[in-house]
Structure 1
Amino acid sequence: MPTEELRALAHPLRLRLLSLLTNQAMSAAEAARELGETQANVSYHLRRLHAVGLLDLVEEVEVRGGKAKRYRHDPESGNRVSARTTEEHQLLAAALAEELRRRTAQRLVGARGAMSDAELWVDPQVWNQAIDKAGELGMLLHDAAQRPHTPGTVRVAATVVLFEMERPQTQKDEA
């Protein structure tokens, strides 16, 4: 059975919320307006993400006689998401693939970008360097994240998935 964190990530709106709330706090109403969703729907998903530790409750503010909770995503919380089986890794990959499809439909054609895809064999030291650089890249982007529509900013998408693969059995390996 998938972990609670993985189940929380399986919904496409939750991945969008994590991205939106990177390096900034928003209430359900603010996030709903930005994403074009209902406040009730966003509020439900925010509570689910908070319950599994992927969002931090950073403040409660008075709004028209009530209290609005404002949440922020700490990118480091993703390190707590643990896929223990191939099926769990595939569940996470499917959620990421669906989000990548959604984002790609909004790609600014002709704008500068980068893409790399590979299945290859490398020295373990090079592999460890690649993982470290991917982590640095993620933190660079997360630390620089600003509120949507901030003047002078560009809207970008970034999905980086690196993983070591099983070594296939060959006749040489068996000898």
Structure 2
Amino acid sequence: MPESPGLDELRVLAHPVRLRILSLLTGAAMSAAEAARELGETQANVSYHLRRLHEAGLLHVVEEVRIRGGLAKRYRHDPESGSRFMSTDPREGQLLLATMAEELKRRSEFRVQGKGGLTADAEMWVDRETWAKALAHAHELSELLHRAAKPPRTRGTIPVSTTVAMFEMRRP
């Protein structure tokens, strides 16, 4: 079993811009300038976050291109790279979940009403077999969407939001 990350290492994920970068770079490799334009952020800010995500092993340099005499790195995110950030420290999980909740609030401002979708929330007791099946389905859903991710504004695509947080709770 991989060693649990420390709180400092997990903080690389606990920033809304970094979550947006990871989502964006799942569908396409981009440079800091390209990602900054897409996210509406400054190139300096995105460049800083790209470096942090790359240092944490969540982004890979897939190519380097010459642009106006300089060398621009294009990064890509492999969604499976995040699996090593699972931790048993409650503070770490709470930090990530709080960031996900904030990002979900931001995305909800762009929700298209009347176009389908799913909103579900539950705190319940189920048997272990049902729980295992639910986790397997959620993992399958995540893989399906990540494999199908395309660059922003690709013809025939629509922007979508998916946030899943499933966890076993301790008994009250």
TM above 0.5, one fold?
Answer: yes
Aligned to 2:159: 155
After TM superposition, the runs of 4+ consecutive aligned structure 1 residues lying more than 6 A away are none
Among 60, 81, 84, which residue is 1:80 paired with?
84
For residues 19-42 of structure 1, the C-alpha deviation after alignment (integer angstroms, 9 at most, x for no partner) is: 000032100011011011111110
- The 2-side partners of 1:85 and 1:117 are apart by 24
Task: Report how many residues are paired.
Answer: 167
- The 1-side partners of 2:130 and 2:168 are apart by 12
Are residue 96 (structure 1) and residue 100 (structure 2) matched? Answer: yes
Among 94, 105, 108, which residue is 2:112 paired with?
108
- The 1-side partners of 2:79 and 2:146 are apart by 7
For residues 68-122 of structure 1, the C-alpha deviation after alignment (integer angstroms, 9 at most, x for no partner) is: 0010110001101122311111111100000000000111122110111111111
Aligned to 2:130: 126
Task: Flag structure 2 segments of 5+ consecutive residues without an equivalent.
Answer: 1-5
Among 16, 19, 24, which residue is 2:20 paired with?
16
State the identity %.
63
Letter of the 1:138 counterpart: S
- Greater Cα radius of gyration, structure 1 or 2: 1
- The 1-side partners of 2:165 and 2:98 are apart by 12
Letter of the 1:150 counterpart: T
Aligned to 1:164: 168
Q: What's the CA shift for 1:59?
A: 1.1
What TM-score do you get using the length of structure 1 for normalisation? Answer: 0.92
